[in-house]
Structure 1
């Protein structure tokens, strides 16, 4: 494994803040200091808890990951070119995967992104292997393939070209507007095989977005992605997730969000209430304590028995979404936990070929 420190700057020359995404092509004159924010200094050691942001480049030994049958998710195979995510969503369930690398699930997950630099060439080799039978591959199930680092590394163009050439079906879930850069490849792939695209929009409240998803594009920009896909004839669904108790679960907020999703031309919407696994629980709790301490009793009540809110609460939220869908003429997709992998799948997705087994714990932790 190669660990190369590549600092990510947050401000351009002159002190002008960067946009969250939609990063332009890097010019030769800008190489090493491009708008993607990635610099290429000499290799330096990476330490947990440091303030700097790094890309950690690795040469992966495997790239297509099998999901255990017991996971309960609607896909069998996944592909994740990155680990860690610059979107820095406070609630991200994948945070705990960073602890397998001896990094923490909080700041390190947001700022130390593992990049599988050989993902495209490795995928071509695995797709051509006699044992591969051409099953659908899900992307965006762990961390977002269209996060900031993708503007520099461009791994998804190689990945999509490989899937297109093999006519292998695939799905993508993203918050990243950078997916529009690859619209040409997605259209070509859709002519040869089954392609599914979903965009995650839990709420259109911009104030909430700025604090709970600080590194991700705004929800309105994500809906522009949905609109663009609808215009070119590639169907796009919306995963309305996560719906946050006490923050985005009121009838009024759900109504506004579903209305905006419908106006964007989404084919369907799938609601998903926040779930909090170890790693995400602690980070989200710290954020709640800082920003919304008045909600701590509510979360203690909802999540005292484990990672998921009570089924009665989930049903109540789902019913509000369904009612709003009917008013705005939206279809309802079958409930699917698009970005939930089992602990086994997450632990095996190290990018090094190691497939450590991790039994699902029967003990459920409390939030606090």
Structure 2
């Protein structure tokens, strides 16, 4: 199928005339261009919008990435991870954090154009831009929309450093471009690989690439000249936090080329906790009482439990010759926001 034929087929799937009231959040998308469905993404609707801004400056008072600059090409994510911390962001559109987050995907089709304009007019450019702090920039839709290549080029041209955190294998398409960018600006790559149990992965992250595919992507990042960071997140109580399990997982990460591993125990915010427990009741009902006790007082595991898991992680890291993270925080957002001294272009740092 030619590109033109593919585009025509895609355009033929328009579903702009959605029944009134079926998606109340769309009323807030005043910049909606069209909504489309296609057999290639069964059950998924893409809402193509004209964004007014590309760069998002996180307020200094925010508990998550204070003062950072971020770019989010998409809202919602077809990875459909039951534990995803970004799910509540869909509620700002009047959509739910469950099925809507997985299947109603907002696509900022003019992102690169807006970014180029912002970079050209800002008196002070961001000192760094982070991708993947909300939804994945390399989810499956990126294979169709290809928003990232011109965005990478725009940041590189403006000499703005950037980091990318993903669990999507689509990033392999852009590794040559990213390696070229790294010759001019600091580029940091990270991959989310929480476990190597494929059965667990298929039920908990049903729309995400397999663990094997992500390990291959890690090898490709290393081969492209990067020193990738792996987010071992989330570590699941009683399911992936045993010493033998962590040794196996971290050993696989080391073999595949991880330069750094950042561990994060399972964090369950409002709404996401209920969704995760639905998954737990279906697949591991015997664990429900233990999880109910562990998360009885909030979103985090008890400190003593987290410390015990961290000690096991550190033992596994030492065994496989990987550095021990020098920041003790378990907050994924905070870890993404940490900076280290700028390296040479062939030695990306941690996020």
Common topology (TM > 0.5): yes
Q: After TM superposition, where is structure 1 displaced by more than 4 Å over at least 4 residues in a row?
A: 334-339
**1:190 aligned onto 2:182:** yes
Query: In structure 2, do the counterparts of structure 1 residues 75 and 199 end up closer, same or farther at CA, with 3 Å as the change threshold?
Result: farther
Q: State how 1:155-170 maps to structure 2 within 5 Å.
A: 155-170=147-162
Quote the Cα distance in structure 2 between the aligned partners of 1:305 and 1:227: 40
The CA deviation at 1:289 is 1.5
Rounded to whole Å, the distance in 1 between the matches of 2:15 and 2:90 is 24
Match for residue 297 of structure 2 among 305, 308, 319: 305
CA displacement at 1:42 relative to structure 2: 4.6
Change (3 A) 1:32 1:215: farther
Query: Secondary structure of 2:191's partner?
Result: strand
Q: Provide the C-alpha distance between the structure 1 equivalents of 2:105 and 2:194, rounded to a whole number of angstroms.
A: 24
Give the gaps of 5 or more residues in structure 2.
25-41, 335-351
Structure-2 residue corresponding to 1:67: 58
CA RMSD, aligned part only? 2.2
Displacement after TM superposition at 1:125 (Å):
1.2
Q: Which has the higher contact order (CA 8 A, sep 6+)?
A: 1
Distance 2:203 2:303 in 1: 27
Specify the alignment match of 2:201 in structure 1. Answer: 209
Residue in 1 aligned with 2:212? 220
* TM-score, normalised by the number of residues in structure 1: 0.80
Asked whether the equivalents of residues 57 and 67 of structure 2 are also in contact (C-alpha less than 8 Å), the reply is no
What secondary structure is seen at the aligned counterpart in 2 of 1:331? coil
For the pair 1:229 / 2:221, whether they are aligned, the reply is yes
- What is the rounded CA distance, in whole Å, between the counterparts of 1:291 and 1:59 in structure 2? 40
Q: Is the Cα contact below 8 Å between 1:82 and 1:114 reproduced in 2?
A: yes
Once the two structures are overlaid, the 10-residue window that deviates more, 153-162 or 66-75, is 66-75
Displacement of 1:74 after TM fit? Answer: 7.5
Q: Which moved more, 1:130-139 or 1:190-199?
A: 130-139
CA shift for structure 1 position 130: 3.0
2:130 is matched with 138
- TM superposition shift of 1:64: 1.1
User: 2:333 is matched with which residue?
Assistant: 340
Residue 84 of structure 1 contacts residue 113 of structure 1 at CA under 8 Å; is this kept in 2? yes
The CA deviation string for residues 331-361 of structure 1, in whole angstroms up to 9 with x for no partner, is: 23344668538xxxxxxxxxxxxxxxxxxxx
Partner of 1:92: 84
TM-score, with normalisation over the residues of structure 2?
Answer: 0.84
Q: Quick check: 1:93–1:340 contact (8 Å CA) kept in 2?
A: no
Q: Which structure 1 residue ranges, 5 or more long, are not aligned?
A: 1-24, 342-368
CA separation of 1:324/1:337 partners in 2, compared to 1, >3 Å: closer, same or farther?
Answer: closer
Query: Which residue does the alignment assign to 1:253?
Result: 245
